[in-house]
Each structure stands twice: as structure tokens, then as C-alpha cells.
Structure 1
């Protein structure tokens, strides 16, 4: 019987987001591709340490060990040869990751759609930006200041995912009003459009997939909890609430912070990961929780974007 995609969640992740590959990446940057390849092959039996997104992946896979509702796909710029160390590490930790694309330096995000992924996580900002531009939910996994965790600790508890609102779950039209016309006009605009749903942002489809997965569990036994953590405050809250209602999507917790720093609230929520479009918010959040920067919308616009290239100078291997 074919799997019902309305109850299926697929996440694609790069090697360097899943594992700590700082040493090997340093070899690549300092000595080049050939030295990197030799380094990985020589150490292919050495197990990589968990990376920033390891906890998230572990919890995702523990939701459904049969991999019929949740699947994690590896998308890597490694070659199949250098990727053997990554697969050895996946096997060592008992991660049920069986599908992968090793692109040998070319853009791995091209395979997001064929694999049916709802989310792409990478340590390479260029890959993430290109994936977002192509219409996929994607985030750059940032280095974390969290304490090291054992594998056992990473297994415990609910999966908790937190999102910013504008330019992440929603489009950035309201953020543009705020930046160009100020807080008073933003508040007036949101009050006037309170019953007009916000446009969907890059993470709407991912949130919808999470919502559908939550609905596959009895309400009192659901192992997934979501939170909206936004700088909005009243009266700009109503449009957000009505938008989620219009989408028929459930958010378990909604924090309207009115400009307060988000980091302590994320720590209190115990987020396994937080997604935000603004680098300042991300830099504070990454001190407490795993954080993904979503380079989308007006906060991330650049006057002269770099041209797309198949072979980046600092690939996410």
C-alpha cells in the first residue's frame, strides 16, 4: 500500500549539520579537495561526533522507527568515497537513515524535490539561499554554544520546534511595512487587516506537515510540540491567530513578546531547534538552543546577490 503523504514528514540534512566535521572542513579550506579526500578516507573508521542538528534528527527518527511517517535523507557535497565515513557514523549511532545523495561538490539541494523533503538543513548558507529561492523550506544550521550531550540525552522527551513568524511561517509583507513605515503604521496596518490571512512563508508547508504528523497521534500522546515565538504584540497578534485558524494548522504555544529578546523564552520552551530570519535573533538564540537561520525576506535582502554556482568555494561537505 502506498504511504499517505498527508501523514509523512521528510527532512533532508547535510553531513556537516548532522555531524561535527569542523576538523575535516578545516582541512578542505586550508589544503584543498585532494587533502580533504585523503583525510576522510584515512579516518573512515573514526566515528564523527554529533553535530548541532543531531539531537533534532535523533528525536525525529525516534518518533517512528519504521520510517513510514518520518524519514531523514542525507544530502551531501561529499563524493560517495569520502561519504563512507558519514555512513559509518550513521550506522554507529543507530540512525535509520538509508537514503542519500552524494553530489561530489555540486548543489545537493537539487534533490530536495525528488526526495519529497519538506525541509532542508545545511551548514552552507549558499545552498540554503538557493534552496529558498527555489521555493523550499531551508535553514542554515548555526554553530551552537550548547553543552555537549550524550546520545542517550538526545533521545529523551518530546520533539519541540519553535518558529519565528514573519518571513518564516508567514510572508514578509508586514515586516516590510514595519521597516519602511515604523511601528505605529505597522500596528495600524495589522489592525486594519486583522481578518485578512497573512501570505504563507517558506516554512508554511513544513509546519503543515508537522501538523499532519501530530494529528496521526492521539492528542494526549503526541510526542511533538510546536511554538510560535514572535516579536509581535497586541494588536498585531489577531491577524496571526486568524491566519493559523484559516490554514487549519495547530500551534501548541504562541509567544507574543512585543520586542523582548527571544533566547530565554526558547530556553524555557526547551526547543530542539528554532528558526528565525534575522541574524541578530539567531545569534542570541544559538547561545541556548540549536538555531537555523532562514535567509528570506526583507531582513536578508542584498543589493548585489552573488551569482549561483555549482561549485562553491566553501561547500557543505
Structure 2
């Protein structure tokens, strides 16, 4: 068990064995439909950087722009349709023992920066995957190269966060075309099923916006193969309802020049490669 401190400003909605979870009371959170919301979990140590002991709030971490971008997509979706139920639902998960001892500081930091986080979950490093499953997480994002594969092996779609600066005003998701093209040679792994489901939801979100001024950009990149490989990945994504904004066929060329321009928040792949050569 992990001890937690309840934030009196939020409503407790679940008590898994790993610790308490809390849900915020903002109007946007009330509109989220549990059956339609796209639940994204991010590690708190990626969102916040530890500051001096006397500070009331943590500093901004590498994932901070990501949370702002997710929030921007929600805001624009609700501007288009106030009754929209297909929204991102963000969970912060904490396994770091030092941050767990300062759980109230994590909650107050979120409030200080105006981040819309629905739930704060605290678990041990051994039980964090069970925490993801209990919260019906559809995408887990971390900067830890060990955590992402662990979650994926248990069927939770996972990706490594990029450490380069990414925009906060637009969510940029990159699909690895080589993974999209990978044939199904047997029973489909749970993680791949999760990837197809998530991509379909992302594609549906993207369809809510026009070609220009969209808060969500979907990019396809194939590192190997020629035009046929890229075309096959495009057709596969379209069959799932995903229309991409940009597509790059590298045919073995270095990825860094494209990545430095596109600046995606994360890459959806099977091998958890970082967004670097």
C-alpha cells in the first residue's frame, strides 16, 4: 500500500489497492463520458521537475507542453460542440517515492499551472501497470525506457515521450509506418489491438476539425522501404478512419531533419525507439 494525501478540492472516485485516485470538479471534467473519453496517463516526474524544498510547486518538466496540447484539443472540441464527449481524460501516475511523499504538492502544482488532470494515482513501481489497467488507460506516456515496454507487455498502449521541445498549442502525434505495415502473423497482441483502437479514436477527433488551424496534427513516417511502403501505411490508417496531415517516406534516410521540423510529442511504434537517430 502507498499512503496518499487527499486533496479536499477534488472528489475521490476510486480507491484501487495501490492508492487513492481523485477526479477534478471542473466543468470540462463533468462533461467527460467514461465510455467515450480517451484516457491518457502520464508519469508525474515527466510533467514536473523537482524544485527546491521550500517551493510550493514543482517546476515544469518535459511533458508539460504535452498536457497543455491535450487540454487545447479538449477546449477546441468543446468550442465546436459543447456536448462533445470524445475528449482526452488525463491521469497523472506517480511511482517516485519522493514525489509520493509530497502528493499534495503534485496536486497543488497542477492547480497552480491550470492543468486539467482528472486523476492523480500513486502506486509502487511494481504495481504501476495494474494502476493503469484499473483506470482504463488507453495510452501511457513516460520518459522511462523500462516502464513503457512493461506496460505494453500487459496490453496497455505505451510510448516514450520526446525530450526535445514540442509545441503546447498543437498536439502532434507521429505514427511509425513500419509498425503500421507489420503483418498480423497470428493472434493479435493486446497492445496492437489497443493501438488500433486508439488510432481510430484519434482519427475521429481529427475529423472534428478542418484542414487548417487544427489543434491536432497526425503525421506518418516510414523509415524503411519506398513509396509503396508509405502508401500501404496510409491505406491502412485510412481504413481505421485516420487521415494524416503529413507523410514522410525516408527510405533509410536519417530521421533527425524531419523530426526537428515536425517536433512530435511522441512516436507510436512497436519498438519504443526514441525520436532520434
TM-score of the aligned structures, taking structure 1 as reference length: 0.62
Alignment equivalent of 1:76, drawn from 83, 91, 94: 94
1:253 Cα deviation from its structure 2 partner: 1.4
Counterpart of 2:9 in structure 1 is none
Alignment equivalent of 1:87, drawn from 97, 107, 112: 107
Asked if 1 retains the 8 angstrom alpha-carbon contact of 2:123 and 2:131, the reply is no
Asked if 1 retains the 8 angstrom alpha-carbon contact of 2:174 and 2:221, the reply is yes
1:106 Cα deviation from its structure 2 partner: 3.7
1:124 Cα deviation from its structure 2 partner: 3.0
Classify 1:246/1:155 alpha carbon distance in 2 versus 1 (closer, same or farther; 3 Å): closer
Counterpart of 1:213 in structure 2 is 205
Helix, strand or coil for the counterpart of 1:88? helix
Asked if 2 retains the 8 angstrom alpha-carbon contact of 1:76 and 1:103, the reply is yes
Counterpart of 2:71 in structure 1 is 61
TM-score of the aligned structures, taking structure 2 as reference length: 0.70
Counterpart of 1:48 in structure 2 is 58
Classify 1:155/1:284 alpha carbon distance in 2 versus 1 (closer, same or farther; 3 Å): closer
Q: Does 1:259 align with 2:252?
A: yes
Helix, strand or coil for the counterpart of 2:243? coil
Q: Does 1:10 align with 2:39?
A: yes
Distance 2:200 2:172 in 1: 15
Classify 1:219/1:97 alpha carbon distance in 2 versus 1 (closer, same or farther; 3 Å): same
Q: How does 1:155-304 map to 2 (within 5 A)?
A: 155-156=168-169, 158-167=170-179, 169-171=180-182, 203-218=195-210, 220=212, 222-231=214-223, 232-277=225-270, 282=274, 284=276
1:62 Cα deviation from its structure 2 partner: 2.1
Classify 1:5/1:225 alpha carbon distance in 2 versus 1 (closer, same or farther; 3 Å): farther
Q: Which of the two has higher C-alpha Rg?
A: 1
1:44 Cα deviation from its structure 2 partner: 7.0
Classify 1:204/1:78 alpha carbon distance in 2 versus 1 (closer, same or farther; 3 Å): same
Runs of 4+ in 1 over 6 A off after TM superposition: none
1:228 Cα deviation from its structure 2 partner: 0.7
Q: Per-residue displacement from partner, 1:33-90 (whole Å, max 9, x unpaired)?
A: xxxxxxxxx9374422222211111110122247951221011114654322222221
Distance 1:171 1:202 in 2: 15
1:274 Cα deviation from its structure 2 partner: 3.3
